[in-house]
């Protein structure tokens, strides 16, 4: 049958009339029946439809682009190949996932409702939560809590905030609920206190920010009546009521790199932060003596303590809080802690361990097209891994299920065949599947492969939702990824760090809502986004070149089966012969013990000591010893060794002129030491920045921007950026005299770049001088990208110009915001006022991603560089004009921001009206925001 909608012919109707000529893609195949004829993905004409996919070594994917509609047409035709069938093994009574299958182990995993035990209801008086908060939890699906959560919350001293807490529970077991209750109760009952909630990734901060704002909507703090409100002299009744209402509301703010928030610590009640931002907030509160305002700190993903790059910051935060001995409750949680009791002893906390999962998970190992229960296979596989012939393995073990070997060339690899078969089986049953693989390129290759075997789209509503998603992706400033263009119409997407934030958010939301059935991701998704799946498929035991660790393996498996989404979960680890022995160990491996990151071979004590002394937390030798005794390092190493490390670190800081030892036998931070801490730099990074800024003070190239962009390039890119020397030389050739002079001043020599182009050599980084030189050239190369971002060059153009993923460009921009702010603070603390003013102006340009003439308008909500340029070009030339505009006059300009989306909606009259109404609401917000900023600027001028 044909689907018609609003007199519009769907792509299915068009596709069914198209004639395609079959072209082989690789090798020779067996003769196919009419029903099995593969789709031709490349036409004989100069133009083309669909995609031509060719897998190269190292998982590179070569793609020919097409329009979304052409891709949809192509996808409506028979697949290039079909997924293999999966059959039950001789001893198996379990079939493929079906919609009406009963839940397993229901008796042992059912959650007792509040009617069975009153303590399982949040409305119970023992929790002391307000009715509005209970209602908000219920609205979001939380009507009762689990037995372990009740036991944990009701432990003595926790609800009252008298004791710290460290606890662990499986992913999906309800960890966050415990922390949310403790945090909110503390804020509600202590209206003068604030909370910090620490998460490791920006995506998690953004996700938690939305959740928390919904939870606290309408919830008020227990603010006692102000006696002065009775005095008429204090102002009008309206102003007093407004003041009281603002005081009672719970204000939630996100602090993370790239955030454009202007909210300060003083203007928030709950700060949801990345690790770096949380540590900076804590330092500021200690230095300004406002730490008494803090009431509770929640540390999510506490296992990050031993992370090589960021774990030391978590340890610093806990150490400072322990030393202060203030009335501040510390709550730490993780799904992957093994030494919970030791961490609790360090933090003087109660500890709680739960192994409860509300949704049961069955784990399987897949090897050579056979599926084995992982729980019972470890010992057998250790023996079987010594066998060389796969036939011997099949004889010695009875598989749970068997996957038919495929005769299609694309699926001759057993691991790929299993991945496709398991993913397609899940999608065909109406469930979601998460596939984890080891690299970004592999994500795209596997997404394209699975898409080819996915069932045809027969449901019109489902097709429309996927076309809407394509339209949303197409309307982004970066444009539509050609692989997604092909896969989305078949219900398959991918997710990795090379994508932009907007792309990842749209893809994740589409998967979460069921628009996409299969999502292929790198392991970063396991820790970075809360997306559940009926079936998790881990394609290979390696993530990158390294074998996946037990913690990450648990994180990935934990995405299977989530309460409220599924009644069961399954994980499948697909293994190749070379990794079989390692996988056997992985299946039964214990979680590694969490260790301190302050050991010398990692970050050492230098930053910990510098921060404590610079913020005035400690100064004398005995106080410094007491501070060190509060570290996890002191708990895990020999005490004499720790003190020797401490003395060595103090001496280094003094030698580097970050500390001075005064006559009263106390340490004091120098002006340089204070600047390093204020800018949130590590000591070694602060010293490097200081040397570069001192050179800039001697001779700053003021007739161009290149030197500033170099200064704002984050130091971390100096270790991760790969330079394409031909591109470097091309960009040098395009520089004007000012830009070339600026780069030569910082140490870039065009002759050296030419030598590297001609020789094809790599940077040597053996000696300290070579390391310093490499850092300069990498930062200079990256500075070109920053320059382009600030000059409104489209992100996709920058990505093509430097041959890097679009997400990498966006991540660079986000990192630069925080680093640039640190540079400005450094100059301010060093009393280099003129330098700070120059850099601050350029920081505004960098954050806005715009030239100087758009800075004013780029402060407005919803107005980014591209929107600001369109507004300016269409008559709204400045902030004042925007503030005085009629919202309806902005709607045509906003339609120009996403022209493809506008054209798509014009095909449906009702959608056009809805889209225009949505843009009118957006325009009203823009005008209101412009008015607010304009009023603030006028007030400043009046006061001056």
For the chain, percent of residues with pLDDT exceeding 90: 34
**DSSP assignment string, 501-545:** HHHHHHHHHHHHTTS-SEEEE-THHHHHS---BSEEEEESSEETT
pLDDT of residue 438 exceeding 60, the answer is yes
pLDDT at 436: 92
Q: Which of residues 193 and 600 earns the better pLDDT score?
A: 193
- What the block records as the tokens of 118 is 């009153």
CA distance 23 to 913: 44
Q: Indicate the range of 524-528, 691-695, 826-830 predicted with least confidence.
A: 524-528
Beta carbons within 10 angstroms of residue 600's beta carbon: 12
In the block, which residue shows the tokens 């219920």? Answer: 138
**DSSP assignment string, 4-48:** EETTEE-HHHHHHH--------SS------GGGPPPP-S-SSSS-
CA distance 722 to 743: 18
pLDDT at 813: 80
- For 315-362, the pLDDT digits (tens) are 999 999 999 989 999 999 998 888 889 999 999 999 999 988 888 888
CA distance 114 to 116: 5
Which of 764, 753, 744 has its CA nearest to residue 725?
A: 753
Reported as a pLDDT band with limits 50, 70 and 90, residue 133 is very high
> Does 683 map to a domain?
yes
Q: Does 468 share its domain with 363?
A: yes
Please measure the distance between the N-terminal and C-terminal CA atoms of the chain and give it in whole angstroms.
Answer: 73
- For 476-531, the pLDDT digits (tens) are 777 788 889 889 999 999 998 888 888 988 999 999 889 999 999 987 766 666 78
Q: Indicate the range of 188-192, 283-287, 532-536, 849-853 predicted with least confidence.
A: 849-853
In contact, 746 and 781? CB cutoff 8 Å: no
- For 651-668, the pLDDT digits (tens) are 999 999 999 998 878 999
pLDDT at 478: 77
- Residue where a domain terminates, one of 780, 814, 849: 849
Print the domain residue range for 70: 1-94+358-594
> Does 104 map to a domain?
no
Which of 351, 306, 313, 316 has its CA nearest to residue 332?
A: 351
Using the 8-state DSSP alphabet, how is residue 620 labeled?
B
pLDDT at 154: 95
Q: Does 263 share its domain with 135?
A: yes
Q: Which of residues 911 and 363 earns the better pLDDT score?
A: 363
Q: Does 844 share its domain with 862?
A: no
pLDDT at 64: 43
- Residue where a domain terminates, one of 327, 353, 379: 353
pLDDT at 95: 45
In contact, 806 and 500? CB cutoff 8 Å: yes
- For 543-561, the pLDDT digits (tens) are 777 777 777 777 888 788 8
Q: Does 418 share its domain with 530?
A: yes
- What the block records as the tokens of 503 is 């792309």
Q: What is the mean pLDDT of residues 693-700?
A: 83
Q: What is the CATH number of the domain that holds 771?
A: 1.10.3380.20
- For 588-630, the pLDDT digits (tens) are 667 778 889 888 877 678 999 999 999 999 999 999 999 999 9
CA distance 459 to 443: 27
Q: Does 517 share its domain with 549?
A: yes
pLDDT at 628: 95
Q: Does 657 share its domain with 767?
A: no
> Does 685 map to a domain?
yes
In contact, 172 and 562? CB cutoff 8 Å: yes
> Does 230 map to a domain?
no
Q: What is the pTM of this model?
A: 0.76
Q: What is the CATH number of the domain that holds 316?
A: 3.40.50.300
> Does 234 map to a domain?
no
Q: Does 321 share its domain with 417?
A: no
**Residues 133-150 as b or e (16 or more Cβ within 10 Å = b):** bbebbeeeebbbbbebbb
**Number of alpha carbons in the 13 Å side-chain half-sphere of residue 493:** 27
Instruction: Please give the tally of structural domains in the chain.
Output: 5
**Number of alpha carbons in the 13 Å side-chain half-sphere of residue 758:** 6
CA distance 752 to 499: 33
pLDDT at 522: 86
> Does 513 map to a domain?
yes
pLDDT of residue 646 exceeding 60, the answer is yes
CA distance 922 to 512: 25
pLDDT at 382: 54
pLDDT of residue 100 exceeding 70, the answer is no
Chain-centre distance of CA 53, in angstroms?
29
pLDDT of residue 379 exceeding 70, the answer is no
pLDDT at 523: 79
Per DSSP, the three-state class of 211 is helix
CA distance 792 to 852: 11
Q: Which of residues 82 and 32 earns the better pLDDT score?
A: 82
pLDDT at 91: 59
pLDDT at 865: 62
- What the block records as the tokens of 12 is 């299915």
Q: Which of residues 1 and 69 earns the better pLDDT score?
A: 69
The pLDDT mean for the chain works out to: 79
- Residue where a domain terminates, one of 297, 323, 353: 353
pLDDT at 507: 92
pLDDT of residue 439 exceeding 60, the answer is yes
> Does 417 map to a domain?
yes
Q: Does 384 share its domain with 525?
A: yes
> Does 630 map to a domain?
yes
Q: Does 665 share its domain with 765?
A: no
Q: Does 661 share its domain with 710?
A: no
Reported as a pLDDT band with limits 50, 70 and 90, residue 902 is low
Q: Does 381 share its domain with 499?
A: yes
Q: Does 166 share its domain with 36?
A: no
- For 230-245, the pLDDT digits (tens) are 444 444 444 444 444 4
pLDDT of residue 634 exceeding 80, the answer is yes
Reported as a pLDDT band with limits 50, 70 and 90, residue 392 is low
pLDDT at 935: 76
φ and ψ of 284, to 5 deg: -60, -45
**DSSP assignment string, 764-803:** --SSHHHHHHHHHHHHHHHHHHHHHHHTT--HHHHHHHHT
């Amino acid at each position: 049958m044909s689907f018609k909608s609003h007199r519009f012919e769907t792509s299915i109707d068009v596709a069914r009339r198209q004639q395609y000529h079959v072209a082989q893609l690789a090798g020779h195949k067996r003769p196919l029946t009419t029903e099995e004829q593969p789709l031709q993905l490349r036409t004989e004409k100069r133009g083309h439809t669909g995609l031509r996919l060719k897998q190269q070594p190292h998982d590179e994917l070569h793609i020919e682009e097409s329009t979304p509609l052409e891709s949809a047409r192509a996808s409506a035709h028979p697949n290039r190949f079909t997924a293999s069938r999966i059959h039950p093994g001789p001893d198996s009574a379990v079939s493929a996932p079906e919609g009406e299958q009963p839940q397993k182990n229901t008796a042992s995993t059912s959650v007792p409702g509040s009617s069975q035990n009153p303590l399982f209801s949040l409305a119970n008086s023992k929790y002391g939560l307000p009715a509005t908060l209970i209602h908000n939890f219920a609205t979001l699906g939380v009507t009762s809590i689990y037995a372990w959560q009740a036991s944990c919350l009701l432990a003595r001293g926790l609800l009252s905030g008298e004791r710290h807490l460290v606890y662990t529970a499986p992913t999906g077991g309800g960890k966050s609920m415990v922390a949310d209750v403790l945090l909110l109760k503390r804020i509600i009952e202590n209206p003068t206190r604030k909370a910090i909630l620490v998460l490791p990734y920006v995506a998690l901060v953004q996700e938690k920010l939305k959740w928390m704002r919904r939870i606290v909507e309408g919830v008020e703090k227990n603010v006692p009546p102000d006696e002065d409100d009775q005095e008429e002299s204090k102002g009008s009744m309206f102003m007093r009521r407004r003041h009281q209402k603002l005081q009672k509301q719970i204000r939630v703010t996100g602090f993370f790199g790239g955030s454009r928030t202007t909210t300060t610590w003083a203007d928030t009640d709950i700060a949801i932060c990345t690790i770096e931002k949380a540590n900076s907030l804590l330092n500021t509160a200690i230095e300004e003596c406002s730490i008494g305002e803090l009431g509770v700190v929640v540390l999510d993903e506490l296992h990050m303590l031993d992370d090589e790059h960021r774990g030391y910051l978590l340890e610093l935060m806990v150490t400072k809080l322990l030393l202060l001995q203030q009335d501040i409750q510390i709550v730490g949680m993780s799904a992957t802690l093994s030494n919970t009791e030791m961490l609790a002893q360090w933090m003087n906390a109660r500890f709680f361990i739960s192994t409860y999962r509300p949704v049961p998970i069955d784990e399987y190992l897949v090897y050579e097209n056979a599926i084995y229960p992982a729980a019972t296979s470890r010992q057998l596989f250790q023996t079987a891994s010594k066998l060389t012939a796969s036939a011997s393995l099949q004889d010695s073990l009875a598989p749970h299920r068997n996957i038919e070997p495929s005769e299609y060339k694309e699926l001759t690899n057993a691991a790929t065949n299993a991945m496709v078969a398991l993913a397609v089986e899940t999608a065909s049953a109406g469930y979601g599947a998460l596939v984890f693989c080891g690299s970004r390129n592999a994500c795209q290759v596997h997404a394209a492969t699975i898409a080819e075997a996915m069932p045809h789209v027969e449901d019109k509503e489902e097709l429309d939702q996927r076309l809407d998603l394509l339209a949303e992706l197409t309307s982004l400033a970066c444009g539509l990824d050609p692989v997604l263009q092909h896969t989305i119409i078949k219900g398959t997407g991918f997710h990795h760090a090379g994508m932009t934030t907007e792309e990842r958010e749209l893809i994740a939301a589409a998967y979460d809502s069921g628009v996409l059935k299969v999502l292929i991701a790198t392991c970063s998704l396991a820790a970075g986004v809360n997306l559940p799946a009926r079936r998790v498929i881990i394609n290979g035991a390696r993530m990158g070149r390294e074998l996946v660790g037990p913690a990450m393996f648990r994180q990935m498996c934990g995405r299977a089966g989530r309460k409220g989404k599924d009644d069961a979960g399954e994980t499948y680890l697909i293994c190749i012969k070379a990794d079989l022995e390692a996988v056997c160990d992985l299946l039964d491996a214990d979680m590694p013990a969490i260790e301190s990151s302050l050991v010398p071979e990692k970050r050492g004590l230098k930053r910990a000591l510098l921060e404590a002394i610079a913020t005035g937390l400690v100064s004398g030798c005995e106080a410094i010893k007491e501070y060190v005794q509060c570290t996890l390092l002191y708990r895990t190493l020999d005490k004499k060794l720790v003190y020797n490390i401490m003395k060595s670190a103090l001496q280094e800081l003094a030698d580097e002129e970050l500390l001075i030892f005064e006559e009263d036998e106390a340490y004091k931070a120098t002006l340089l030491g204070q600047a390093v801490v204020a800018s949130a730099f590590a000591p070694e990074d602060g010293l490097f920045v200081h040397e570069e800024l001192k050179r800039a003070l001697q001779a700053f190239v003021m007739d161009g921007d290149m030197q500033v962009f170099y200064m704002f390039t984050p130091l971390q890119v100096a270790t991760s950026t790969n330079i394409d020397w031909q591109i470097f030389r091309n960009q040098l050739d395009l520089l004007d005299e000012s830009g070339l002079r600026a780069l030569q001043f910082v140490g870039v020599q065009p002759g050296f770049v030419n030598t590297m182009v001609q020789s094809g050599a790599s940077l040597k980084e053996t000696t300290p001088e070579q390391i310093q030189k490499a850092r300069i050239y990498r930062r200079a190369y990256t500075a070109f990208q920053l320059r382009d971002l600030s000059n409104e060059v489209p992100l996709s153009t920058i990505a093509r110009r430097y041959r890097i993923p679009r997400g990498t460009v966006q991540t660079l921009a986000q990192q630069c915001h925080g680093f640039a702010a640190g540079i400005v603070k450094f100059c301010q603390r060093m009393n280099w006022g003129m330098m700070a003013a120059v850099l601050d102006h350029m920081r505004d340009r960098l954050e806005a991603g715009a030239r100087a003439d758009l800075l004013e308008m780029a402060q407005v909500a919803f107005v980014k560089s591209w929107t600001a340029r369109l507004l300016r070009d269409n008559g709204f030339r400045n902030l004042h004009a925007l503030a005085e505009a009629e919202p309806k006059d902005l709607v045509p300009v906003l339609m120009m921001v996403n022209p493809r989306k506008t054209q798509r909606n014009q095909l449906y009259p009702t959608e056009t009206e809805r889209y225009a109404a949505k843009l009118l609401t957006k325009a009203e917000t823009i005008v209101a925001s412009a008015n607010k900023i304009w009023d603030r600027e006028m007030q400043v001028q009046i006061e001056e």
